[in-house]
Amino acid sequence: MKNFKNKYFDISKPVFIPAAIITFLFVSLTILFSEDAEAGFSGFQYYMSSNFGWFITLCINYFLIFVLYLAFSKFGNIRIGGKDAKPSFSKFSWVAMLFSAGMGIGLVYFSVAEPMLHFNNPIIEGASDVEKARLAIRNTYFHYGFHVWGIYMLLGIALAYFTFNKNAALSLKSTLVPLFGNRLNGWPGHLIDIVAVLATLFGLATSLGFGALQFSTGLSEYFGLENSTSLQVTSIIGITLIATISVVTGLNKGLKYLSNANIIIALVVFAFVLILGSSLRLIDGFVESLGTYLSGLVELSLFRNQYGSPGDWFKGWSMFYWVWWISWSPFVGTFVARISKGRTIREIGVFGLVIPSVFSFLWMSVLGGTALNLQLDGSLDIASIVAQDSSVGLFKMLETLPFYEITAFISIVLVGTFFITSSDSGSLVVDMMTAGGKLNAPKGQKVFWAFMEGAIAIALLVGGGLTALQSASISTGFPFAVILVLVSFSLIKSLKHDEQLKN
């Protein structure tokens, strides 16, 4: 008997049970052997980055090119759900949910931290402070730009097409049937879905871990509390409970409203810093940085600095980001598919690539640019502050502007709402995966996975901090990159076959 169903659960046992057992063992062993876990995570991260970075670099470029091809080819006119399908959400709500799921806490955590860390450790040696600042924003754009959304949109389009146009279950194995046929009805298909569940859980836990670090830092800065592991764990527990309430209310209520609130609060913070900071200077910086990013996009896309300091910059930055985003892709892709019925492939591709990327560029230019200006003007050595604690950069930058008490509080709320929507949408997606692709499974499962996500984030923080968070993403990101390549082959095969049947 492959399925189990009652009032609280409706599960596909070959997926749910192994995923739950592996997750439970990982959490338990990481907490019990925290010192050994930290060393193991660090060694694993170095090994994978050193030996397989080239493969990930080629993959992320291929994913972006593939999505652009789909969007502007004849297949771009295909409407998800059929030619008469109507969108379930307004364009604003759709983009807000897509953005909140796809970027979330990382955008807030790294808004000041990443540009300043790049400034401290520039991609090239011997650069002046002005050149280091220019390269810092360019490289931050690169890590939050088109390549990220190419990963997400590839899987989102594939899952949406197979689910709503081919009437398949909303599960990863459905996207590979054109390549492997009925063999996916057995253990190979279950194994693929298990990998997707684990990738989602560990990718999400990485984001929740960063969120807990910054949320607790905000509480520490604002209320004068000690920023300890205990505070971080307490933050995860508290916000997980709130996320559980949200996930129980459903997609059309809690998550939609929270996603809209995320965007509105983010725009308030953005506008405040832009207006009270050096507005004209920040706008000039955005225009210049966009030009620098676009003109160097091809070089950056293939850069691995193998002729510099043996690839250290690439391993520490781009490599981590790409596998983090890839490990997030089953989560974001499934979520994008779930909310995109009624949209065309071209809409998903173009809106999904451009709008979140441009918003990320503006966000990083204003918040990160303000921090860099403070550094260059000698007003605040924020580079040294971030070098000691990357989570505190945002709050130290806000301290230099008026109304700090208000903006710091709003920023803490923003981290919290991003935290909640990430956990909420993650629970929704894992719930669908472990229910055999059902769009609406019982609430008991959502509650179970919401708690499990929080437990993984706590285990990783206790068992190795940021190194453990990064390594968890890498462990699932590599195998999933291979799966994404296969998904692209399967999707194009199915699209061409359906086109032939029409003709």
Q: At what angle do helices 345-363 and 91-102 cross, to 10 degrees?
A: 60
- Which residue numbers in the chain have pLDDT < 50? 1, 310
Q: pTM for the full model?
A: 0.85
Dig out the tokens for 371 from the structure: 């921090």
Written as one string, the DSSP assignment of 254-289 is IIHHHHHHHHHHHHHHHHHHHHHS-HHHHHHHHHHH
pLDDT in the model for residue 191: 87
> Based on the structure, what is the number of domains in the chain?
1
Residue 445 CA to residue 17 CA, distance in Å, equals 12
Dig out the tokens for 496 from the structure: 């061409």
Written as one string, the DSSP assignment of 290-330 is HHHHHHTHHHHHH---TTSSTTHHHHHTHHHHHHHHHHHHH
The domain that holds 333 is classified in CATH as 1.20.1740.10
Residue 394 CA to residue 453 CA, distance in Å, equals 26
Residue 364 DSSP label: I
pLDDT in the model for residue 391: 85
The CB-side HSE value for 268 (13 A sphere, CA atoms) comes to 15
39, 53, 98, 138 alpha-carbon torsion, rounded to 10°: 100
* Structural domain containing residue 116: 3-502
Alpha-helix runs per DSSP H in 83-186: 91-102, 105-120, 129-143, 146-160, 177-180
pLDDT in the model for residue 37: 65
User: Tell me, what amino acid is at 163?
Assistant: T
The CB-side HSE value for 173 (13 A sphere, CA atoms) comes to 24
Looking only at Cα atoms, what is the longest distance across the chain?
A: 69
From start to end of 33-103, where are the E strands? none
Written as one string, the DSSP assignment of 218-248 is HHHHHH-----HHHHHHHHHHHHHHHHHHHH
User: Among residues 399, 419, 422, which one has the least CA distance to residue 409?
Assistant: 399
Q: Tens of pLDDT along 393-440?
A: 999 999 999 999 999 999 988 888 877 777 777 777 777 777 766 666
| Residue that has been written with the tokens 């996603």 in this structure | 259
pLDDT in the model for residue 162: 94
pLDDT in the model for residue 1: 44
User: Among residues 15, 337, 320, 324, which one has the least CA distance to residue 155?
Assistant: 337
Q: Tens of pLDDT along 99-139?
A: 766 666 778 888 999 999 999 888 887 889 999 999 999 99
pLDDT in the model for residue 233: 86
